[in-house]
Amino acid sequence: MTTTFLFIRHGQTDWNVQGRWQGFTDIPLNEVGRAQAHALAKRLASWPLDVVYASDLERAAETAAIMAAPHGLQPILTPVWRERGLGALEGLTQAEIHKNYPYLLLPRSFIEGPGSESYDKLRKRVIGGYNKLVRQHKGQTVAIITHGGTLRMIVSHVLDLPGRLFAPFHLDGNTGITRVHVDKKGQSSLSLLNDTAHLEAGLMFDAGG
């Protein structure tokens, strides 16, 4: 009996376009982001889906509502699936962070700026939430609308990668789908990473961030 998780990044926001780090700041989708969410919903309309969870931040919650509508499901909103809190870095571009906090931007490092959520706290929140859903939804297909930093933590966990280092994969595509299977022994495996095929017909890609 296999459990399937669809981890999906939220649609585009204006801060994504501007390259601003969002964290807990509650930035809404822009029009491109809503179009991306509708493209996602169309793609997943025929996929089996039992339950939808989402970050309670607006950009994820609205993406989830649009995506879940064809299935007649109401997303369950929870702060467990929020982006990582970035403290003083929220709202800044990478260039601004480099200027004001140059000691933070080390190659492939996990950044802990002033007031940010620590690596250990983020891991406890995200991996604890994942393990709970594995126990609750055995044999089901579960969609989780979340954020880039949170997704990176999940993927690194599933692939058993070293902690605190950014692994060499990209999660820049808004509404990208990352699929994880959990077998009857509780072993997780990755079968899809940041798939944005539903966006290829239009100009709906973000600039990263």
CB of 203 closer than 8 Å to CB of 12: no
Q: Given the residues 38, 62, 71, 83, select the one marked as catalytic.
A: 83
Amino acid at 75: P
Residue 131 makes CB contacts below 8 A (sequence gap 6+) with none
Distance CA(46)–CA(196), nearest Å, equals 17
Residue 104, helix vs strand vs coil: helix
Q: What residues pair up with 20 in beta bridges, in sequence order?
A: 93
**Residue 137 a catalytic site member:** no
**Residue 10 a catalytic site member:** yes
Q: Is the sign of the CA dihedral 92, 165, 106, 117 positive or negative? A: positive
* Catalytically active residues, by annotation: 10, 83
